[in-house]
Amino acid sequence: MYWVSIVTEAAIFAILALGLDVVWGWAGDFDLAFYGYLALGSYMTMVLTIGKPTPPVSYILGYHLPYPVALLLAVAAVVVLAALIGAVALRNLREIYFAVTTLSAVSALYLIVENYTPLFDGYNGVYGLVNPGQTALNLTYNGYRIVFLGVVLVLLALVCLLVQRLSASPFGRMLRSIREDEHAAAAYGRGVFSAKYRAYLFGAALAGLAGGLFAVFISAFNPSAWTPQELLVIYAAILVGGRGNPLGVVAGVFGVYIGFIELTRFLPAPSSRPEFGPALRQVLIGLLIILMLKFRPAGLFSERLSRDRGPQ
């Protein structure tokens, strides 16, 4: 069961990373709000499935919808939020200005969710989504977890296929041309904002999907689960795998997640200092980011650019 859990988590984050890679790898926008999209997807899935809150717990909605319906609605909610942030941040802001703006947006959101309890019960967060559909499917707890892993892997494969098709499509090539030279792309008649905006919404939808799956995986969600810095692990994974190369990104996520979790099992973890292990893991992730950027910025499996075959 240990491995089922690790692989499920890695597969969920691979979906998130594929979405983020469309935004950063293809369109070239370094976004720091993305973990907020996963969080919103997770929160929305929960409040749509776990029913009315019992005081003193409080959160919005509180419906008893079937899980797949809730998942779709959660993705829709995430896309709406991304549409708002993207409309503001993508219009004129690029590079660091874009990154700082998205970071302040997600930080403001974080503070509001943490302090405004009627939304998602503030710091306590929401919980209670335990294996939706387990009784209907007549499964044991462990059996359900294995089936869930299967579902996540199938979804990951579908997303991966979709992203790969998109990557090779005219849309994917247009995004890369905008990344390389926005002015040239505009001069050739490409709508820069609209292309970046569509890529952003697509990426955010994948983040929302990952969030909805993550809700089932951990069955409880509160602000400590999504500090904006969590996103750096995903960026590290994309950097290792190869920015702009979907299969590389998936390999990077599995490598970094499983590699780090396995590695940190063998690191010293004094029982008097429970924060020592996680902190050391973060240090290593930070170092990994710096070293990859310095020595191998294209990643282990670098982006394969489609060649212009030209008229025969």
Partner 1 sequence: MTTFLISVGIGLATAAILALSAVAFTLEYAVSRVANFAHGELLTIGAYAAYSGQRLFHQNVVAAALIAAAAGLVAGLLMNAGLIEQFRGRSATTVFIATLGASLVLQNLVEMIYGAANVSYSFSQGGLHHIGPFLWTTGNIEVIISALAVAGLIYLLLQRTRFGKAVRAVSQDRTLAQVSGIPARRVVMGTWGLAGAIAGFAGFILADTIGTFGPQLGFSFLLLTITATVAGGIGRPYATLGGALLVGLVIQIAGTYTNSAYQLVWAFALLVLLMLFRPNGLFVRRGATAVRA
Q: What does the binding site for partner 1 look like in residue numbers (CB under 8 A)?
A: 30, 88, 91-93, 95-97, 99-101, 103-105, 107-108, 111-112, 114-115, 229, 232, 235-236, 273, 275-276, 279-280, 282-283, 285-290, 293-294, 297
The encoded tokens of residue 275 equal 């924060």
Report the candidate in 207, 163, 203 with the shortest Cα–Cα distance to residue 71: 207
Pick the closer one to partner 1 by CB: 164 or 282. Answer: 282
Least distance (Å) between residue 98 CB and partner 1: 9
Least distance (Å) between residue 89 CB and partner 1: 8
Least distance (Å) between residue 275 CB and partner 1: 4
Count CB-CB contacts under 10 A for residue 286.
14
Report the candidate in 53, 50, 49, 201 with the shortest Cα–Cα distance to residue 119: 53
Pick the closer one to partner 1 by CB: 193 or 276. Answer: 276
264/280 Cα distance (integer angstroms): 8
Least distance (Å) between residue 27 CB and partner 1: 13
231/277 Cα distance (integer angstroms): 19
Pick the closer one to partner 1 by CB: 4 or 232. Answer: 232
- Rounded to a whole number of angstroms, the distance between the first and last alpha carbons of the chain is 55
Least distance (Å) between residue 20 CB and partner 1: 13
Pick the closer one to partner 1 by CB: 71 or 105. Answer: 105
Instruction: List b or e across 227-237, with b for residues whose CB sees 16 or more CB atoms inside 10 angstroms.
Output: ebeebbbbbbb
Least distance (Å) between residue 239 CB and partner 1: 8
Pick the closer one to partner 1 by CB: 72 or 103. Answer: 103
Pick the closer one to partner 1 by CB: 103 or 225. Answer: 103
Least distance (Å) between residue 115 CB and partner 1: 4
Count CB-CB contacts under 10 A for residue 69.
12
- Residue that has been written with the tokens 């590290």 in this structure: 236
Pick the closer one to partner 1 by CB: 13 or 235. Answer: 235
Report the candidate in 139, 162, 136, 161 with the shortest Cα–Cα distance to residue 149: 139
* Cis ω before 56 (30° cut-off from 0): yes
